[in-house]
Structure 1
Amino acid sequence: MEQEPQPPGAADPPAGPPADAAALRRAERKLAPRLLPVVALSALLASLNRSATALASVELTAALGLSPTAYALGVSLFCVPYCLLQVPSQMAMGAMRRQNLWLAALLVCWGATAASMAAVRTRWEFYAMRLLLGAFEAGAAPGLWAYLAHFYSKERIVMPLAVMMGSLILSQIIGPLLAAGLLAMGGVGGLRGWQWLFLIEGLSAVAVAFAWVFMPRDVEAVTALTPEELAAVRASFASTQPPARGGNQLAVLRRALANPAVAAVSCIRFLRDAALYGLLAFMPLLLKNLMGLEAPGAEPVTKAQNVRIVLLIAAPFTAAVAAQFAIAWSSQRRGERRFHVAAAWGVGAAGLLALPFAIGTFGAAFACLSVALTGMVAGEGAAVAHFMALQGGEKGVGLAIINSMGGVGEFVGPVVMGSLRERTGGYAAALLVLAGLQALAAVGVAALSPSRAERWARRERGGATRGGGDGEAAAEPAAEAGLAGKKSVGGPSKSFVRVHVEA
C-alpha cells in the first residue's frame, strides 16, 4: 500500500469510504496471531537484554574487577550509539521493501552481541560489547512500531501497540525472576551464573530472528486474508499514510525534521523518559529507604529482604500491564488518544508529587509509588499511536527521532535523581523534580492536538496566513469533538493544500 509522500509535516490524509466493519474484524483476528506474538517477544527480549547487565552486576563486577565508576561508564556507553543510530537504522529499514528482514538482522546482531558478553574478560571488552549492543538495539523500538503501521491504520493500531508495549512492562516483572533462576545455574558446564544469563537471553533473540524471515512484509503479503478482508483493511488505510518504504530516505528525513510536531513530541518524550527512568533506576534503593533499611545503624540487608524488594517492584508493574490494556481498549473504542495519554501521565505525576509527603509510612508511600509508576507507563500504546497520527509517511523516521530524544532523557533522569539524592541526603527533592518533568509531559500531550500540529505544518510550508481565520478557529472544536474534516487553504501561489483535522 504505497502512497505518494506528503509535504513536510503533513498529517494523515482525510478519511475515505468506511471499511466493512465485520470483514475488518475478521482480518484483524487473522493478523493478530501472525504478527503480535513475534513482535511482542522481540520487544520483550530487547528489554531483557538491556536489563541483563544490571541484573548480573553483582557477579559481573566481581568477576571483571570493575570499580563502581568503571561499571557505571560501561552501562552509560550503551546510550551513546543507542541515541545516535536510531535514525540511521530506521532509514536503512525504510529503504528496504522487505523490512522484516532488517528486523531479523537486528535480532541476530544484538542477540549474538548479548551472548558474547559471557566471554568478556576485561573492562575494555565490556565497554566494546556495551557499545555494540547499543548500536544494534537502536533500531528495535522504532522498527517494530513502523512495522505494525503497515498492517494497522491509526484508528486500529492502539491495541496492537499496547500488546507490544505491555511486553516491555512484563519484562520488568519476569526479568528479575528469570535472572534469579539463571544466576543460580553458576557452576553448570563450568560457567558462572552471569555467563548463563547473557548466553540464554542472547541466544533466545537469535532464535526469534529466524521467525522474522517468514513474517509478511505488509498486509498484501498475508495470504490468509480473503479478498473481502483485504479490501476492508485497504479501506481502513484511507485515512492513514503508512511509513515510507523504499525511495529516497534522505527526503523522508528532511520531511521528519521539517515537521514541527516531531520536535514537540521529542521534547515531550524527553521529559517523560527522564522522569520514568530516573524513578526506575532508583526503585530498589528507594524501596530500601521506604522500608527503613537505609536508616543509620540498620542491619545489613538479608537475602529474604532482597527477595521482598524484587516482589514489591513487580507489584506496580503487574497493575500497569492491566492498566495498559484498559487504556488502549478505551482509546481505540472511543477513537481518542490524546486525553487518554494525558490523563494516565497526569496520574503518574500526581503519584510522584504525593510520594515525598508519604515517606515515613510504608503503606501510603508504596501506594503512591505504585500509582506513579502505573500512570507513567500505562498509556504507552495510546501515546505511540497518537505520535504516529501527527505524522504522514515520515512517521518511521519521525518515531526514531522521538525515541532518540527519549534515550537522552533515559540517561539524564538517573543522573538528576542521583545528584539530588547525594546533595540533599534524601529522595524528596528528587521526586518533586521528577513529578514536575512528568507533569510537563502530560500537559504537553494534552496541548498537542492533530489540528494544532496541522497549523504548525501549514505555517512551516507557508501555506496559510499567520494568525488563522474563521476556519482555523472552527478547526479546534471539531478536533476536540473527534470529528474529521477538510478544507482548502490558499497559499502564495494560489495552490490548495488539503488538510485533515483529526482528534
Structure 2
Amino acid sequence: MADNVGGGLETAIPQGQVLESAMRKARNRLMPFLILMYLLAFLDRANVGIAKQALQTQVHISDAMFALGAGIFFIGYAVFEVPSNLILHRVGARVWLGRIMITWGIVAACTMFVVGGSSFVALRLLLGVAEAGFFPGVILYLTYWFPPEYRGRVLGMFYFGYPLALTLGTPLSGVLLGFDGVAGLAGWQWMFLIEGLLAAGVGVLTMFVLPDRPADVAWLSADEKAALSVVIDRESSDKHAEGSGTFRQALRDVQLLKFVVIYFLMQIGSYGVVFYLPDQVSALLGVKIGLLVSLVSAIPWLCAIVFTAIWPVIATRVNRPRMFFLVCLLMVAGGILLSAHASPSVAIVALCIAASGIIASQAIFWTFPTDHFGGTAAAGGLAVINAIGNLGGFVAPNLRSEADHLFHTSTAGLHALAIAALLSASTALLLPAQGRRVVATALNSMAGRRGGR
C-alpha cells in the first residue's frame, strides 16, 4: 500500500501541487457550510442580548435573572461537552453535528414560550446542553482535513461565522423584533422562533452534505487523498510519539491547564462584550434597542471580519502565532477600556478594535491545542478546553453586573473585562512561540523513501 501511495505521488509531491490542490478543494467545499453552521450557532447563543430589553419590559426579567440566564447556558454546555466530542470522534461529524444542530434549534425556538425568569433560565440551561460539543467538534473535524500549516487559515475562515452572526444576524434580529403583534406574537418571540428553526433546518441538511473524512468524498482524486493522508498520518504519529495521543495523556498534560486558563480568561472578555454590546450601543446613542442600534452594533463585527481575514493568515505564514495572539488580546483589553470612557463616536471605534481582537485571537488560539494534541487526546482535550474555558461566558455577565453594582458605576464591569483580557495575555506568554510544521517533513520523508527504492 505504501508503494502505491508513493508511486501515485512520484512527481507531484516534491512540488506540493497535489496537496495544495486537495487543500483548495477541501477549503472551498467545506468551509462555507461550516461557517453557516457556526453563524447559526452563535446567533442562537447571542441573540438573547438583542431581546434583553423586550424580555425585561414584557416578561419582567430582572437584570440579575438575565445575567444568570445568559451565563447558565455555559453550565449545561460544559457538563456535556467532553462526552459529546468523544461520541463525535467515534460516530463521525456528519451524524453528530447534524443531531446537535437539530436539537439546539428546537430548544432555541422554544425560548419563545418564556413567561418569566425561571423559564428563561431553564431554557438557556437546556440550550447549552443541546449545543454541547458543536464547537470543539468542528475544531476536531478540521484536524481530519487540514495539517497545521493550513489550519490557522481555515480556523480564521471558520471564525467568520462568529462576527457574521453579529454583523448579519444582529440586524436580522432587529428586523424580527419589528414583527411585534404579528399573529399575536411579540417581536422577540418571532426572533427566537425563526432563528431556531433555521438552525434545525440546517442540521437536517448537515446529515446529507457534510462528509466525515477525505476518504469519503468523490471530489478529491486518489493522489490528493493519498497526499493528504501522508501529512495527517504523520502529524498523528508525531503526537502519539510525544505522548499527546490519548485522552488520559491529555488529562495529565500541564499544557492542557495552560490552554484552559487562557481560554477561560479570553471568554470573559469576549462574552462580556457580546452579551452587552447592543445595550452599550443603545446607551451611547441614547435610543432604545431596535433596528438602528442593531445596525450600529454590527459595525464592530464587520471590522472583525476584515481583520480576521488577514491577521491569522499572516500569523501562520510567518509562524509566530504567540506574538500575533498577544497583540489581539491587548487589542481586546485596550478597546474595552477606551469604550468605557470615550465619547460615543470614539467608543464605537474602540469597540471595533476590541471586537477585532476578540475574533482573531480565538482563531489563532485554537492552533495551539490542535498542534499539540492528536487522536482521542484531541477529541477529549479540545472539549475540556472549550467546556471549562467557556465557563468564562457564565462568569462574564455576572462579573460585569456585580462589578457595576459594587462600585455604583456603569464602567466598573468594563474594567473587569479588560483585566481578564490582560491576565489571558500574561498567561499566553507560556505558549510556544512557533507552531508545528509537518507538511515539508512528511513529503521529504516520502521523497527519501522513494529515492531509497
What is residue 8 of structure 2 aligned with on the other side? Answer: none
| Alpha-carbon distance, 1:440 to partner | 2.4
Stretch of structure 1 that moved more, 210-219 or 99-108: 210-219
> Residue 321 of structure 2 aligns to which amino acid in structure 1?
R
| Alpha-carbon distance, 1:449 to partner | 0.9
Contact 2:282 2:293 in 1 (8 A): yes
Structure 1 residue runs of 4 or more that deviate by more than 6 Å after TM superposition = 480-486
> Residue 392 of structure 2 aligns to which amino acid in structure 1?
G
1:285 and 1:118 map into 2 onto residues whose CA distance is 21
Picking from 93, 96, 99, the partner of 1:102 is 96
Structure 1 length as normaliser, TM-score?
A: 0.76
| Alpha-carbon distance, 1:264 to partner | 0.6
What is residue 298 of structure 1 aligned with on the other side? Answer: none
User: Percentage identity across aligned positions?
Assistant: 28
More helix per residue: 2
Contact 1:82 1:135 in 2 (8 A): yes
What is residue 25 of structure 1 aligned with on the other side? Answer: 20
Structure 1 residues 316 and 119, CA gap change in structure 2 (3 angstroms): closer
1:45 and 1:229 map into 2 onto residues whose CA distance is 32
Per-residue CA distance 1:124-166 (angstroms, 9 max, x = gap): 5444322221101111111111111111111111222112111
Matched residue count: 423
Contact 2:76 2:132 in 1 (8 A): yes
What is residue 196 of structure 1 aligned with on the other side? Answer: 190
What is residue 390 of structure 2 aligned with on the other side? Answer: 407
Contact 2:75 2:394 in 1 (8 A): no
1:187 and 1:372 map into 2 onto residues whose CA distance is 36
Per-residue CA distance 1:292-311 (angstroms, 9 max, x = gap): x4xxxxxxx467xx654433
What is residue 357 of structure 2 aligned with on the other side? Answer: 375
What is residue 338 of structure 1 aligned with on the other side? Answer: 322
Structure 1 residues 350 and 75, CA gap change in structure 2 (3 angstroms): closer
What is residue 445 of structure 2 aligned with on the other side? Answer: none
Alignment of 1:145-160 (within 5 A): 145-160=139-154
Secondary structure, aligned partner of 1:185: coil
2:168 and 2:288 map into 1 onto residues whose CA distance is 22
Contact 2:48 2:275 in 1 (8 A): no
| Alpha-carbon distance, 1:417 to partner | 2.2
What is residue 274 of structure 2 aligned with on the other side? Answer: 280
- 1:417 and 2:400 correspond: yes
Structure 1 residues 302 and 207, CA gap change in structure 2 (3 angstroms): closer
What is residue 132 of structure 1 aligned with on the other side? Answer: 126
Structure 1 residues 157 and 86, CA gap change in structure 2 (3 angstroms): same
Secondary structure, aligned partner of 2:148: coil
Contact 1:317 1:374 in 2 (8 A): yes
Picking from 390, 393, 397, the partner of 2:380 is 397
Structure 1 gaps of 5+ residues are: 1-16, 245-250, 294-300, 451-478, 487-503
1:72 and 1:278 map into 2 onto residues whose CA distance is 10
> Residue 350 of structure 1 aligns to which amino acid in structure 2?
G
What is residue 80 of structure 1 aligned with on the other side? Answer: 75
Contact 1:331 1:337 in 2 (8 A): yes
- 1:437 and 2:411 correspond: no
Structure 1 residues 288 and 374, CA gap change in structure 2 (3 angstroms): same
What is residue 310 of structure 2 aligned with on the other side? Answer: 326
Contact 2:319 2:435 in 1 (8 A): no
Structure 1 residues 181 and 150, CA gap change in structure 2 (3 angstroms): same
2:316 and 2:144 map into 1 onto residues whose CA distance is 18
| Alpha-carbon distance, 1:50 to partner | 1.1
Alignment of 1:149-228 (within 5 A): 149-214=143-208, 215-228=210-223
- 1:266 and 2:250 correspond: no
1:270 and 1:211 map into 2 onto residues whose CA distance is 32
> Residue 108 of structure 2 aligns to which amino acid in structure 1?
A
| Alpha-carbon distance, 1:210 to partner | 2.3
Structure 1 residues 149 and 484, CA gap change in structure 2 (3 angstroms): closer
> Residue 152 of structure 2 aligns to which amino acid in structure 1?
V
Structure 2 gaps of 5+ residues are: 1-11, 240-244, 442-453
Structure 1 residues 18 and 420, CA gap change in structure 2 (3 angstroms): farther
> Residue 378 of structure 1 aligns to which amino acid in structure 2?
A
Per-residue CA distance 1:94-147 (angstroms, 9 max, x = gap): 232x33201111111111111222344565544432222110111111111111
2:399 and 2:86 map into 1 onto residues whose CA distance is 32
Structure 1 residues 133 and 23, CA gap change in structure 2 (3 angstroms): same
Over alpha carbons, which structure has the higher Rg? Answer: 1
RMSD of aligned residue pairs (Cα, Å): 3.1
| Alpha-carbon distance, 1:353 to partner | 4.7
Stretch of structure 1 that moved more, 66-75 or 316-325: 66-75
> Residue 331 of structure 2 aligns to which amino acid in structure 1?
V
> Residue 264 of structure 2 aligns to which amino acid in structure 1?
F
Contact 1:150 1:243 in 2 (8 A): no
Structure 1 residues 19 and 234, CA gap change in structure 2 (3 angstroms): farther
Secondary structure, aligned partner of 1:56: helix
- 1:350 and 2:329 correspond: no
Secondary structure, aligned partner of 1:447: coil
| Alpha-carbon distance, 1:355 to partner | 4.9
2:33 and 2:220 map into 1 onto residues whose CA distance is 19
Per-residue CA distance 1:383-434 (angstroms, 9 max, x = gap): 2122211223211211111112222211222222222222333355444443
Alignment of 1:414-493 (within 5 A): 414-449=397-432
